[in-house]
Structure 1
Amino acid sequence: MSGQTFTIQALQLQDVPEAAQLSSDAFLTDRQTQMKALGRNPFNMKEYQTQSLPEMLKSPRCVILKAVDNETGEFAGFCNWGLIGFSPEEMPVVEGRIQPPEKPAAAPAQQSENENDKENGKDKEKEKSSAVEPKPSPDADPDDPIERLQALTGADLDAWQKEVMPKGTKCLVVIGLSVSPKFQRRGIGSALLRWGTNICDEAGVFAWVHSSEPAWKIYEKAGFQVIRTLDVDLDEYAPCPPPDEGPEAKWGHYVFRYMKYFGSQD
């Protein structure tokens, strides 16, 4: 792109701490993230990304890109793409990315168990359940309103994935996108998304994203369309009023948007 002041590269393992901090900074003003941090088991975006990104880097079906400012060398943003249904030969090559093996080496005692998992479809389920957002704990406390909210949003996301990705589907998924507040409005998010939408155009497949309330406009700008929504009254699940906003303050409604990019196949 003419005048582009940043470079798109493959995220490396040593980038994880910086990426986790950047993601935390990018979600500081997100109302749902703010509220979840006040639950009995406070959600911490930095902690979540620190734990999940190394596992994503090991996946042959994930491509994590970062944007680096050309002038300062600063980490400006990153996007985690999941590619579903692509054969190893169809996976895009990204300079600097270490391609994880399709079948990680396993000890002999583990091999039969791994084969059983594959036969039972567990490998496919792991591929589909990429961490678009944290899943509620299986021993979630029904008395914790934040965990009830996560159960609601998690069930809705699972239902969407079953609908949008039946067996044999080939598509891309935006697992996560974060741009540093310092580097926003410079086309970084658009460039990180364009990488995946270009693949959609070339392969004739779609992409989808489960968008947070603040981010959906950037996806719309990149060509994604809202297919359906989940409108949540956060005050029904809030453990307390918003801190430091006065006694009458409300959390308000938060709309999750399920969006698809259809690209040139239309």
Structure 2
Amino acid sequence: MTMTETPSRSPPQTKTAFKVVPATVADADAIADISGDSFLDDSHTLLKAIWKGKDFHREGSKERFVSALSNPRFDILVARKGLEGEGEVIGFIMAVRHEYPNPDPEVEAARIAARDALTKRTENDLLPSPPAPIQASEGQVLTVKELEETTSGAMSHYCGLLMPRGAQCRVIYGCSVAPSYQGQGVGSALMKWVTDHADQDQVYSWVSSSMGAKGAYAKAGYVEVGRLELRLDDYAQGIKWKQEDGSEKEWGTYFWPYMRRDPK
């Protein structure tokens, strides 16, 4: 459930007119392509692609979209090029409503208790750290398997803290903009749809962001409340990051910020 809006490599000089509308099943391929293209420079995704295949992220995005489309708690919006007609999809966002609306009295009581316990947080009021990364035993080499187990453990940790039973919130599951349209306010407009509805419903929202998308979410009012940080070279089995010019470099450190926004 990692999200990103990567910085544009060469932002266009003029802004493109677009509209934000509900997605349809016909948008599956476009959403998969945008998601895949948005992660072309993401070191974590590129490292995993060495073993999982170059299209693993693209294919996974399509599967998640098709599954979410049948879930009534999901809101999936796309940005379409142009103000009229069925224009090209240039961005999307997926968000789910957690624990609401729910008329069950017991669940509602638990929700109120959870809401009262989840006070507003700032960057100086962080959630407890996630479990320590899995360590290699003697003679063992860490692989992408241990990387995925560590990131999944952090996700479970923060899910339990950010949305305990009864807590009402919106969770952003994905937000990407086609690289050639980044820097034109598309991502901001998609995020605004979610934050406006969260404000209307008076619920907080949160996201497990990619490293490259932290600035975009911060601009939308999200504050980092937790983080997982790993040295990717520990899981690369000696393989270096190949660059376009043929050179190689280390994968370096990658972090996953967990970010929350309270309603206005």
Tell me the TM-score normalized by structure 2.
0.74
Q: Deviations over 1:22-53 (max 9, x none)?
A: 11111111110011101267661111112221
Q: Does structure 1 residue 67 correspond to structure 2 residue 79?
A: yes
Contact 1:33/1:43 (CA < 8 Å) preserved in 2? no
Look up the match of 2:236: 238
Q: 2:199 aligns with which of 198, 201, 224?
A: 201
Contact 1:225/1:261 (CA < 8 Å) preserved in 2? yes
Q: Deviations over 1:55-95 (max 9, x none)?
A: 10000111110001117922110000111112279xxxxxx
Q: Deviations over 1:82-125 (max 9, x none)?
A: 11112279xxxxxxxxxxxxxxxxxxxxxxxxxxxxxxxxxxxx
Look up the match of 2:260: 260
Amino acid across the alignment from 1:78: F
Q: 1:43 to 1:254 in 2, by over 3 A?
A: farther
Q: Alpha-carbon deviation of 1:143?
A: 6.3
Look up the match of 1:35: 47
Unaligned runs of at least 5 residues, structure 1: 90-141
Q: 1:57 to 1:143 in 2, by over 3 A?
A: farther
Look up the match of 1:109: none
Between the aligned partners of 1:262 and 1:4, the Cα distance in structure 2 is 30
Give percent identity, aligned residues only: 30
Look up the match of 1:214: 212
Q: 1:143 to 1:13 in 2, by over 3 A?
A: farther
Superposed CA RMSD: 2.1
What does 1:68-147 align with in structure 2 at a 5 Å threshold? Answer: 68-70=80-82, 73-87=87-101, 145-147=143-145
Tell me the TM-score normalized by structure 1.
0.74
Look up the match of 1:132: none
Higher relative contact order (CA 8 A, sep 6+): 2
Between the aligned partners of 2:174 and 2:52, the Cα distance in structure 1 is 25
Look up the match of 1:126: none
Q: Does structure 1 residue 44 correspond to structure 2 residue 45?
A: no
Q: 1:4 to 1:200 in 2, by over 3 A?
A: farther
Unaligned runs of at least 5 residues, structure 2: 1-14, 104-139
Amino acid across the alignment from 1:28: L
Matched pairs, number: 209
Amino acid across the alignment from 1:241: K
Q: Alpha-carbon deviation of 1:246?
A: 2.8
Between the aligned partners of 2:233 and 2:225, the Cα distance in structure 1 is 25
